[in-house]
Amino acid sequence: MELKSFRPIILASGSPRRRELLSSLGLPFEVMVSDADESTPPDWAPEKIVQELALRKAQAVVPAASGRNAVVVGSDTIVVLDGKVLGKPADEGDSMDMLSMLQGRTHRVFTGVACIGLPDGQTAVDYKSTSVTMRPMSREEIAAYIATGEPADKAGSYAIQGLGATLVEAIEGDYFAVVGLPLALLGRMLSEYGIPVLNGQER
């Protein structure tokens, strides 16, 4: 049976990990890299941070896509330990500090997702939270992981889908949220915009 066409998706992210995850759904999409302000007040809760930043990222590309019958998707991920947000490391020393704090402990990963339907502006925002436990590591192991270059642009200084998987002892929640895009949540949100993931036909 020939699949019907439906609204294309615009991914407001330059992250190759999010591109790969969205590609796995088999839906047509294009990428528009978002240049949004990512600063937030220090007293914001993690779930508020990721939902607000996901929305900002989506909103930032709306002007370039105005008038189109598409859905813009923005996403943001943060790592939280003891109430402290761990973003992307500034340098290798910062990576060492982050991974030393995380080793042998459980932290939470929050990922927000925002969808904006065009041209009507229908907006939906949600998030997922996942607990990740890192195994105990020596400074030598941490240094060897940092030397691979993988932690350089990752929140919390690790990539669970890469070599960082060898640092993770347990996970409770949505694996894909830790990678950067919770697919089950996104699928439910897209269905509200007439983009069903499973049957490839408009509702």
Q: Whole-model pTM?
A: 0.91
- Domain-located, residue 84: yes
Range of the domain at 143: 9-191
- Domain-located, residue 2: no
Q: Choose among 12, 196, 4: nearest CA to 114.
A: 12
For residue range 93-123, what is the model confidence (pLDDT) as tens digits? 999 999 999 999 999 999 999 999 999 999 9
For residue range 33-73, what is the model confidence (pLDDT) as tens digits? 988 988 899 999 999 999 999 999 999 999 999 889 999 99
- Domain-located, residue 196: no
CA distance 73 to 183: 12
- Domain-located, residue 81: yes
| Mean pLDDT across the chain | 92
For residue range 190-202, what is the model confidence (pLDDT) as tens digits? 999 999 888 654 4
- Domain-located, residue 201: no
CA distance 32 to 34: 6
- Domain-located, residue 45: yes
Residue 107: which CATH number? 3.90.950.10
CA distance 172 to 174: 7
Number of domains in the chain: 1
Instruction: Say whether 43 is catalytic.
Output: no
- Domain-located, residue 33: yes
Exactly one of 35, 37, 43, 76 is catalytic; name it. 76
- Domain-located, residue 3: no
